[in-house]
Chains A and B, each alone.
Chain A
Amino acid sequence: MTTTPAGTAATASAVSVRGADKVFATKRGEVVALTGIDLDVAPGEFVSLIGPSGCGKSTLLRLIADLDSPTSGTVEVFGTSAHQARLDQRYGIAFQQAGLLPWRTVAANIALPLELHGVGAAERAARVDELIELVGLGDFAQQYPDHLSGGMQQRVAIARALAEKPALLLMDEPFGALDEMTREYLQAELLRIAAETRAAVVFVTHSIPEAVYLSDRVVVMSPRPGRISAIVPMNLGRSADRAEDIREDAAFFEMITAVREALHGAPVTGARGVETR
């Protein structure tokens, strides 16, 4: 892995977006996907992007990942341009679909980025063992993806994203296609993994409880044009220290209400529920 000068690594934000706009040219004219985005994510911080469809949360993640480039404004990752950060492999990424290669075993899927970047066989095997242990798939190393459940596939995808020990993890609705039980289980796993690896996480979701449970800060976005409408800090203690039972705390419900109010742009009247999506 590339190292940055010690000075910048210590001080630079994991992610720093300044005045970013994204305009897509379509047949029916220009569509403003994002406008005036300013966002900082500190090293080791867990930040969720939440908002209705079309608010540009996935687009923002793609800008950070350098899968798209901003029309104007800058996106920096650990003090370098997003493009350089991609070339330097400063982040790991997981999508809504696990996106495993069906012809590779679990172990070989996790090894893919290491293989492509020329890590030696012995080191690779050791790292893969570590990662399989980390995501709790010890017995499935030699299975093929079509033998795994959706949740297990997603765990493999997370292990793959962590393979090169990135200090930044980008996740685009990774649990969106899973059932609620698997989802909550993997959320707890993700917090544990994020704490162990001390990686910063930018997490796109459309589930309020998911965002609240996982995040240090929740970035609320609104559509047409996509922009950040509020940033809500979660007063629930360090995300790394949270346990399952926090989901039943009064503070948790308060945060859910806070995020919902930010989403709707006005205080919500009526009963405080646990409406999810």
Chain B
Amino acid sequence: MTDAAIALTPPRRRARDRGARLRLWGYGLLGIVVLGLVWELYKALGPEDGVVVGGARVLPRTTDLAMPHLWEMASRLAEPVTRADGARPLWLEIVLAAALTLGIAAAGWVVGVVIGIALALVMQRWRLAESAMLPWIVLSQTVPLIAFAPLVRSWGARIEIGAFEWQDWMSVAVIASYLAFFPVAVGALRGLQAPDAIHLELLRTYSVGWWATLRSVRLPAAVPYLLPALRLAAANAVVGAIVAEVSTGLQGGLGRLIIQYAGQASGDPAKAWAPIGGAIVLGLVAAGSVAILGLIFRNYRRAEATA
């Protein structure tokens, strides 16, 4: 047997992985550059009044008001938010707002992940629960956020347990968790049902119960399904937090800034893009942080060995 040759393959494969990852980053950066070029090219060459087909404008106007130059947006970041004395630079305002939104989204993510995994466990344990709950879980995502965000807020405002008082940011976190739990519940359920029959059978010969099977086989086997679900949940939590900030009117977060600056766009068009850019970066940061979990759990992502 060529045991040595077999033992030698992994390092080579790791090197190949690293090259592939660098290339992925390269493509990602290239995509951003292309997007910027498209923006500027269209602005330079497109008709002033945009492209109108049958009364509907399918491409935007190219005026400085509708589409400021990228460099104007960038330089606007360094200038103060308002002309008032002692006003903070715009970028700092965005960073502070993004930090608040990220904190709320993170709280929503944690709640969503806990609920999502709990639901998946219940559905895996009892088939009846799966048929009873899964349609409702899917249906839950069709409810428009705008519709129930004020509801959550007004219910929350009535909660008062001893010294605990419901805070406005908690409503936002609840709504973020509402978007975050869904991919986790679905992904975790698939993952928990993913173990090979042979592994489950082996555990049966050890005559151990559901918990031990869960711990030693089902949860580890679920990790490859769970990681993308957690990443989706992170992006969803950010979207949910921003939308909920808008619809509950929470001050200080990115959602509020997007509305506020959009209102000032006629006088200061570049400013309105700053919180939008901030929201995009925030989503990337949130999804990227979950990638760190992927590194921690990389042993659980090993390909199923072929016998």
Contact = CB atoms under 8 A, between A and B. Distances in A.
Nearest to A102: B302
A149 to B, nearest CB: 6
Interface stretch (A44-52, A112-120, A188-196): A112-120
Contact of A67 (B201, B223, B305): B201
B303 to A, nearest CB: 6
B199 to A, nearest CB: 6
Contact of B198 (A95, A149, A150, A182): A95
Interface stretch (A14-22, A31-39, A140-148): A140-148
Interface in B170-221: 196, 198-199, 201-208, 212, 216-217, 220
Contacts of A112: 206, 216
A97 B206 contact: no
B10 A154 contact: no
Interface string B1-45: 111001101100000000000000000000000000000000000
A13 interface: no
A86 B304 contact: no
Contacts of B306: 150
Contacts of B202: 93, 95, 99
Contacts of A98: 305, 307
A41 interface: no
A145 B305 contact: yes
A87 B199 CA distance: 17
A152 interface: yes
Contacts of A95: 198, 201-202
Interface string B280-300: 000000000000000000011
B302 A144 contact: yes
A140 B10 CA distance: 14
Nearest to B9: A147
B191 to A, nearest CB: 13
A67 B302 contact: no
A162 B208 CA distance: 18
Contacts of A139: 3
B1 A146 contact: no
Give the size category of A's interface with B.
Answer: 35 or more
Nearest to A182: B1
Given A102-B304, A103-B302, A147-B6, A67 B1 contact: no
A152 B199 contact: no
Given A95-B198, A97-B307, A182-B1, A103 B300 contact: yes
A91 B202 CA distance: 12
A87 B300 contact: no
B192 to A, nearest CB: 15
Contact of A99 (B196, B207, B299): B196
A151 interface: yes
B198 A116 contact: no
A240 to B, nearest CB: 25
A98 B300 CA distance: 18
Interface string A123-146: 000000000000000011001111
A145 B6 CA distance: 11
Contacts of B204: 67
Contact of A101 (B2, B201, B212, B220): B220
B307 A154 contact: yes
B206 A113 contact: yes
Contacts of B208: 116-117
A154 B305 CA distance: 11
27 contacts: A67-B204, A87-B207, A89-B206, A89-B207, A95-B201, A96-B307, A98-B305, A99-B196, A99-B202, A99-B307, A101-B220, A102-B304, A103-B300, A103-B302, A112-B206, A112-B216, A113-B206, A116-B216, A117-B206, A146-B302, A146-B303, A146-B305, A147-B9, A147-B10, A148-B6, A150-B307, A152-B1
Interface of A: 65, 67, 86-87, 89, 91, 93, 95-103, 112-113, 115-117, 139-140, 143-154, 177, 182
Q: Which 6 A-B pairs have the closest CB atoms?
A: A145-B305, A99-B198, A102-B302, A103-B300, A97-B307, A98-B307
Given A103-B299, A151-B1, 18 more contacts: A67-B205, A89-B206, A98-B307, A102-B305, A112-B206, A112-B216, A113-B206, A116-B206, A116-B212, A117-B206, A140-B7, A143-B7, A148-B6, A149-B2, A150-B306, A150-B307, A152-B1, A152-B6
